[in-house]
Copies of this chain bind each other. A is one copy, B any other.
Amino acid sequence: MSTQSRRERARADRERAIVAAARDLALTEGWEAVTTRRLAAEIEYSQPVLYSHFKGKDAIMAAVAVEGFAELATALVSARASAADPRQAVADVAAAYVAFAQERPAIYDAMFTLAVDLPFASQDVPTDLARGFAELSETVRPVAAGDDLETVTETFWAGLHGLVTLMRSGRLRRADHDRRLAVLVQRFSP
């Protein structure tokens, strides 16, 4: 009984180590540097061990993404909480969203561009993703007016996502970023 629980604990530790290694590698060198061989070396086990924890590389990336949802949600919550008024809240939350994406581009990609085997628009959305979305919702609620709140939230989100991805891939000049963000925020401000 106790030996079994000890083993389970060790397994859980190793699983966390895999996700942490993937996250660190992706952050420092990008996802193309995150190979199964490299991950195995990092946790000091052989390659097949990874597959006893995760179905494949995509599942590992999904696990990193889920961690990212928690971080993003926390960042959005604190941004909105410290805003002086609803108008400032939109600007601050937008800034926090963009800052997260720019500081952790690899994590952001795993969350919103790469891994597709995560439940999004369905019932069993990861809790922290729902938390982040709810925070966006509350932020734009004052401007929803006649429109459906969820729809407005998704559209605002899409605007942020578009700005972030187009800029990071070099499609938009970085210099003008703040002005673009201001335009978007203004269009979604009370």
Binding site for B on A (CB under 8 A): 112-113, 116, 120-121, 147-148, 150-152, 154-155, 157-163, 165-166, 169-173, 176, 179-180, 183-184, 187-188
For the residues of A in contact with B, the DSSP-based class is helix
Are A121 and B173 closer than 8 Å at their CB atoms?
A: yes
Closest to A129 in B: B171
How many copies of the chain does the oligomer comprise? 2
Contact (Cβ within 8 A) B171 A120? yes
Task: For the complex of A and B, list the 4 residue pairs with the smallest distance between their C-beta atoms, beginning with the closest.
Answer: A162-B162, A158-B162, A161-B162, A121-B173
Q: Which residues of B contact A160 (CB under 8 A)?
A: 162
Instruction: Kindly state the separation between the CA atoms of A187 and B169 in the bound complex, as whole angstroms.
Output: 25
26 A-B pairs whose Cβ atoms sit less than 8 Å apart in the complex? A112-B171, A113-B113, A113-B165, A116-B169, A120-B170, A121-B170, A121-B171, A121-B172, A121-B173, A147-B183, A150-B176, A151-B179, A152-B183, A154-B176, A155-B159, A155-B183, A157-B162, A157-B166, A158-B166, A158-B184, A159-B159, A159-B162, A161-B162, A161-B165, A187-B187, A187-B188
Q: In the bound complex, do residue B166 and residue A112 qualify as a contact, i.e. CB atoms below 8 Å apart? A: yes
How far is A169 from B158 in the complex, measured between Cα atoms in Å? 12
Contact B166 A161 (CB under 8 A): yes
A159 CB, nearest partner CB in chain B, Å: 4
Determine whether the beta carbon of B169 is less than 8 Å from that of A112: yes
**Nearest chain B CB to A173 CB, angstrom units:** 4
In the complex, what residues of B have CB within 8 A of residue A166's CB? 112, 154, 157-158, 161
Q: How far is the CB of A187 from the nearest CB of chain B, in Å? A: 4
Contacts A112-B171, A170-B116, A171-B112 known; A184 to B159 CB distance under 8 Å? yes
Once bound together, how far apart are the Cα atoms of A147 and B183, in whole Å?
8
Residue of chain B at shortest CB distance from A188:
B187
